[in-house]
Amino acid sequence: MLKKKDIFIGLMVGLIANVIGLILTATLLGNDNDFITVIKAAATEGFLGKLISLGAILNLIAFFIFIKKKQDYRARGVLLITVLIAVFTFVFKLI
């Protein structure tokens, strides 16, 4: 039971880290535009997948923190959400 809870916590931490990374990336690369405008422009110009992938860089930090603290199941959750995001961006790129 504890394993499933830790994996779920890792999933949530990875998802939140990815969203924060996406917001930071869009803000830094947005040239004084708001977040929604940058996301819409990225979708129309075809680089939304790349923007989402850049946002996933913060998952590395969360992953290594969990590994250092010997919280392997939480690290598995972060790794799982990172793989799911990679698959999502790959499928999004194909469409």
The tally of domains found in the chain comes to 1
Query: What is the reported pLDDT for 26?
Result: 86
| Mean pLDDT of all residues in 67-81 | 95
Q: Where are the alpha helices (DSSP H) in 1-95?
A: 2-29, 35-45, 48-55, 57-68, 72-94
**Residues with Cβ < 8 Å from 2, sequence gap 6 or more?**
73
This prediction's pTM: 0.85
Domain span holding position 69: 2-94
Query: Tens digits of per-residue pLDDT, 13-63?
Result: 999 999 999 998 888 887 777 888 888 888 888 888 888 888 889 999 999
